[in-house]
Chain A
Amino acid sequence: MLTFTLRRLLIAIPTLLFISLVIFLLVDLAPGSPLSEIPLTVPPEVRQKMMAALGADQPVFVRYLLWLRQFFIVEPAYLLDGWFGTDLAGDQQRILSWQSRAPVFTVIGQRLPQTLTVIGTAYLVGVLIALPIGIYSAYRQYSAFDQLGTLFAMIGFSVPTFFSGTLFIIIFAVWLGWFPTKYDTQLQVTDWASFLEQLRQMALPVMTLGLANAAVISRYMRSSMLENMTQDYVRTARAKGMSERTVVLKHVLRNSLIPVVTVIALGIPSIFGGAIITENLFGVNGIGAALILAINASDLPMVQTLAFIFAVLIVLFNLIADVLYGLLDPRIRYD
C-alpha cells in the first residue's frame, strides 16, 4: 500500500506540471484583456502603460516560467517565513493579482475560511440528510417514503442553485424576514449572540447547496443499498435469524458504503473550489466568487493559481479515495 501511494505521488508530479502548462496556455489563449473593465475614457497610450506595469505584455513563456518559480519557490518560502519567522523569500516578487494588485495567496487565505465553513457545512448537512434517506428509501423500495425521497432528489438535481437560492431569498428573507440575504464576512463569533447571527446568515446558502448535495448522494446511497439487498449473503444473514436492524445497518450498509465513500471523497475538492453561483448570490466571499470575478476581469495570475490548486486537490483526493477503497474493502489490493 505504501509503495502504491508513493508511486502514485511520484506520477502525480509530471501530471501536475503538464496540467499547469495546459491551464496556463488555455487561460492565456482565452480572449479578453485585464483592462476591459476600465472606462472607455482612458486613452490607448495609458492602457499600454498599465499593461506594461502589470507585466501582461511579456511573452507567454516568460510569464509561465515566472509563475512556476513564484508558485513553487517564492510562495512556499513566504509561507515558511510566516511560520518560522525566517527570511527565505527576501523581497522576491509574489504572485500578484492583476485586478487588485494584492498577492494571490493573501486573497486565497482571506477567502478559504468562508468557503470551508459555508460550503463545508452544506456538504456535511447534505451527507447527513442523504444517507438516512438513501438507506430507508432502498429498504422500503417503492413505498410512499421512497417516492417522496425520489421527488426530493429530482428537485435537488434539476433545480439550479441560482433558482432555488433566489426562491429561498424571496421566501425566507423578503417575505418572512428570518435570514439576511448578504453574508457579513466581518462578523466575529465571540459570544452566543454573534454565533446565532453567524448561523442565521449561513442558513440560506447552506440550505441551497445542501439540497443539491443531498440529492446526488442520496441517489448513490439508495442504488448501492438496493444492489446489496438482493445479495446471497443478506439472505444468509436473515436465515441465521438476525434482526432486520443488524442485517440492514451492519451487513448491507457497510458493503453499500464503499462506492458512496468514494463519491463523497471525490466531492471534497469541490468544497475548496467553492460554489461559484451560490457564493455570488449570497455575497459569501469564498474561493468560487473569487474565481468568477477573476475570470470576468481576465485576471490571469488569479485564475491560473486557483485552477492549479483545484487540479492538485483533485489529484490528491482521487488518491485518497483509492486508498480508502483498499481500507474499506480488504478484497482490493494494490500491491
Chain B
Amino acid sequence: MKLKTALLGAAAAFALAPAAHAERGTDGALKLTFPQAVSIMNPYLSSGTKDVIAASMVLDPMAAIDDQGTLVPKLAVEIPTLENGGVSADLTSITWKLQPGLLWSDGTPVTADDAVFTAAYCMDPDGGCAQATKYDGVASVEAVDATTVKVTFTGPKPNPYTAFVGSLAPLLQKAQFEACTGVAAPTCTDQNNMPIGTGPFLVTGFTVNDTVSLEANPNYRDPAKPAFATAMIKGGGDAESSARAVMETGEFDYAWNTQIPPDSQAAMAAAGKGQFVVAFGTLVERIEMNMTDPSPDLPADERATAKHPHPFLSDVKVRLALSKAIDRNILVEVGYGAGGRPTCNIIPGPEAWASVNTDCLTQDMAGAMALMDEAGWTDTDGDGIRDKDGKKLSILYQTTVNPIRQDFQALIKDWWTELGVEVELKAIDPGVFFGGDPGSPDTFQKFYADVEMYANNSDSPDPETYLSQYQCKNAPSPENAWQGENMNRYCDPAYDAMVAEFATTTDLAARQAIAKELNDMVTKTSMTVVPLVHRGTLSAHSVTLGGVVMNAWDSELWNSADWFRVK
C-alpha cells in the first residue's frame, strides 16, 4: 500500500514537473563538485577559473555572454548599442541602465554608486586586481543617476563590452567593500569569502579550499528562481574522482572540469547516472615555433632574441613540413575524446570569427618530406636525420608535466622522426613553466627550446586583445625582463599594421574579416603557431539535473538560476 502511494505521489510529481520548478527553493539541495577547490569568492582577487565560476552563482555583472557568444542582460535593462544610443557615436562611452528595483541579497538597493565603486576597486593600482584588463582604457565611471552608469574611455573603443560584462567583472557592493580598497583588498577575508551579491544564491558558509555553502537569494530579481533551496560546492581530489561522484555513484549533481581520458569517459557514461557535456570556446592546444635561436652557446642577453634568427625554424617550408607531418585526429582520439576536436586555427570560434581553414586536418607525410627536400634539408650522411651545411635538423620540444601532453610529445616525436627530424623531449613543472620568473631558464616566455606546446585562449569572443599579442613589440626579451605574450618572437610589419587597423574598425563584419586574416597569417600561411586541438571544457551532470546550458564564453554556471531537479 505504502509503495503504491509513493508511486502515485511520484507520478503526480512527474505530471506537475513543469509547474514545480516555477517556484523558488522547491527543488531541495544542489550539489556541485570541483576537482580544484574554491579559494576565494571574489573574482577580482582570484587566482583561477574555479573561483570565478563559483563566484558567478553569487555575483552578477551588467551583462553575461550566452552559449552562442552573444551578450544577454543580467542586471542591465538592455544591452547598450550604437542603435539604442547606449554607446556614443564616437565609441568613447557606454551607458548602462540598471533594472529598476534591484536588491542586494541583504535587502539594500543596488545603485549606480556600486558600479562606480566596483570600477574604482579594480582600478586601484595597489589592489592587485586580477581583472584589471576588463577596466583597461577606462577614463572615468560616473553615476548619471541612481540607476544609470556611464563609462567613458580614453579613446574610441570598438568593443566597449569589457567593464561590468561577464563573470570576470561583476558588481561588488560598495557598502561591504568600502574599507577593502588598495592595499587592504587582500586582508578583507570575510568580504572576499562571503561577498554580498545579486545572483541567484548567497554564501552561507565558506571553508577555504574545501566547501562553499549557499542558499537561494531571497531578494533575487526573479521571484520564481532559483529552483534549488540550497547549493554546495565541494572541492578537491581530481578530475577522475569528481566525474565518478556524478557519473558512477550519483553523490553529486554537477562536476566542473572533468577532463579525463577518453576510455574512462566511455566507461563512466555507460553507468547511466549522468552525462558529459562539452562547450567549445577558443582554447587551443598548440605548438609554438621559436623564430629566434635558443642555442646555449649565445651570450645570455642575446639567446632567444630577435638578434639571432632561428637556424632552421625561420624557414617557412620547415615549419609547414613539421605541421603537415602531424595527424591531429589521432591526437584528439588519444587525448581528449569528446572534449576536443582537431583544428588549424588559433581562433576556432565563435563561428563568425573563425577562418575556414582545414588544410592541416589530414596528415600528409609525403608532402612534408617533399617540402623538407625543397628547403634543402636532406639526409646526406645516411643516419636518418636530415642535415644541411653540416648542421643537423634537431629539435628540443618542451611542454609542461601533464599526462596528455606527454602522450602528444611521444606521438609527435614519432611523426617527426619519420620525417627525418631528431627530437629531444622536455617536460617542465607547470608552476615553473607558467610562473614567469625571469630568473628561471624554463619559463615559456624565455623559450630556451625550439618548439613548445601549451594551450591558450581569448578571454572574450572578440579576439582583438588576443590577436594583438603577436605584434613585434610583445616579444619577451631581456629588455622587458622576459615579459610579453609573443612567445614565438613572430615579427611581421604587415601583421602589426593590420592589428592597428583592427583597433579602429567598428563594423562587425569587417572586424571578423580582419580577425580571420590575422589568424591565417600566424597559422595557415606561416605556421608560426601550429594549432593542434580545439579543446572544450568537459563537465558532467546528473540525469536528474535539468537546465544546464554549457557555456564557453562566460562562467559555466552562468544560468544556475534556471537549473531545476528533473522529477
Give me the interface of A with B, judged by CB distance under 8 Å.
Answer: 31-54, 93, 96-97, 99-103, 106-107, 110-111, 169, 173-174, 177, 180-182, 184-186, 280-283, 285, 289-290, 293, 296-298
Whether A31 contacts B39 in the complex (CB less than 8 A), given A101-B187, A177-B249, comes out as: no
Q: Is the CB of B237 within 8 A of A281?
A: yes
Q: Is the CB of B435 within 8 A of A285?
A: no
Q: Is the CB of A41 within 8 A of B459?
A: yes
Contact of B129 among A46, A103, A185 (CB under 8 A): A46
Chain B, interface size category, equals: 35 or more
- B316-324, B326-334, B426-434: which lies at the interface: B426-434
Whether A41 contacts B241 in the complex (CB less than 8 A), given A31-B437, A99-B39, A107-B209, comes out as: no
Q: How far is the CB of B153 from chain A (nearest CB, A)?
A: 18
- CB of B442 within 8 A of chain A? yes
Q: Is the CB of B432 within 8 A of A31?
A: yes
- CB of B515 within 8 A of chain A? no
Q: In the complex, A186 Cα to B193 Cα: how many Å?
A: 16
Closest to A94 in B: B187
- CB of B252 within 8 A of chain A? yes
Q: In the complex, A23 Cα to B232 Cα: how many Å?
A: 36
Q: Is the CB of B209 within 8 A of A99?
A: yes
Which residues of the partner chain A approach B213 to less than 8 Å between Cβ atoms? 186
Counting from the closest, the 6 A-B pairs by CB-CB distance are A53-B128, A33-B435, A32-B431, A285-B210, A44-B483, A41-B459
Whether A280 contacts B189 in the complex (CB less than 8 A), given A38-B47, A296-B431, comes out as: no
- CB of B275 within 8 A of chain A? no
- CB of B440 within 8 A of chain A? yes
Which residues of the partner chain B approach A34 to less than 8 Å between Cβ atoms? 47
Of B193, B208, B248, B435, chain A has the most CB atoms within 10 Å of the CB of B208
Q: Is the CB of A31 within 8 A of B209?
A: no
Whether A47 contacts B209 in the complex (CB less than 8 A), given A40-B456, A101-B189, A293-B37, comes out as: no
Which residues of the partner chain A approach B430 to less than 8 Å between Cβ atoms? 36
- CB of B207 within 8 A of chain A? yes
Q: Is the CB of A280 within 8 A of B238?
A: yes
Whether A283 contacts B209 in the complex (CB less than 8 A), given A44-B483, A53-B126, comes out as: no
- CB of B183 within 8 A of chain A? yes
- CB of B133 within 8 A of chain A? yes
Q: Is the CB of B208 within 8 A of A38?
A: no
Q: Is the CB of A297 within 8 A of B47?
A: yes
Q: How far is the CB of A118 from chain B (nearest CB, A)?
A: 13
Q: How far is the CB of A312 from chain B (nearest CB, A)?
A: 22
Q: Is the CB of B211 within 8 A of A186?
A: yes
Q: How far is the CB of A233 from chain B (nearest CB, A)?
A: 53
26 A–B contact pairs at CB < 8 A?
A: A31-B435, A33-B436, A35-B47, A36-B434, A36-B435, A40-B434, A40-B454, A40-B485, A41-B457, A41-B458, A43-B133, A43-B485, A46-B130, A49-B126, A49-B128, A52-B128, A53-B127, A97-B208, A100-B208, A102-B193, A177-B249, A185-B211, A186-B207, A283-B236, A297-B47, A297-B431
- CB of B537 within 8 A of chain A? no
Closest to B400 in A: A36
Q: How far is the CB of B429 from chain A (nearest CB, A)?
A: 7
Q: How far is the CB of B47 from chain A (nearest CB, A)?
A: 5
Contact of A102 among B49, B126, B208, B454 (CB under 8 A): B208
Closest to A56 in B: B128
Whether A181 contacts B431 in the complex (CB less than 8 A), given A49-B132, A110-B207, comes out as: no
Which residues of the partner chain B approach A298 to less than 8 Å between Cβ atoms? 431, 435
Which residues of the partner chain B approach A97 to less than 8 Å between Cβ atoms? 208
Q: In the complex, A181 Cα to B245 Cα: how many Å?
A: 7
Q: How far is the CB of B470 from chain A (nearest CB, A)?
A: 14
Q: Is the CB of B237 within 8 A of A280?
A: yes
Q: Is the CB of B429 within 8 A of A31?
A: yes
Q: Which residues of chain B from 218 to 243 have any CB-CB distance to chain A below 8 Å in the complex?
A: 232, 234-238, 241
Contact of A54 among B186, B205, B249 (CB under 8 A): B186
- CB of B337 within 8 A of chain A? no
Whether A39 contacts B459 in the complex (CB less than 8 A), given A31-B440, A34-B47, comes out as: yes
Q: Is the CB of A174 within 8 A of B437?
A: no
Q: Is the CB of B39 within 8 A of A100?
A: yes
Whether A31 contacts B187 in the complex (CB less than 8 A), given A42-B133, A184-B234, A186-B211, comes out as: no
What does the 1/0 interface line of B129-144 toward A look like (CB < 8 Å)? 1101100000000000
What does the 1/0 interface line of B11-47 toward A look like (CB < 8 Å)? 0000000000000000000000100010110000101
What does the 1/0 interface line of B296-316 toward A look like (CB < 8 Å)? 000000000000000000000
Whether A182 contacts B485 in the complex (CB less than 8 A), given A43-B133, A285-B210, comes out as: no
Q: How far is the CB of B416 from chain A (nearest CB, A)?
A: 26
Which residues of the partner chain A approach B483 to less than 8 Å between Cβ atoms? 44-45, 48
Q: Is the CB of A53 within 8 A of B208?
A: no
Q: In the complex, A177 Cα to B127 Cα: how many Å?
A: 48
Closest to B250 in A: A177
Q: In the complex, A281 Cα to B33 Cα: how many Å?
A: 13
Contact of A182 among B33, B442, B484 (CB under 8 A): B33
Q: In the complex, A93 Cα to B209 Cα: how many Å?
A: 21
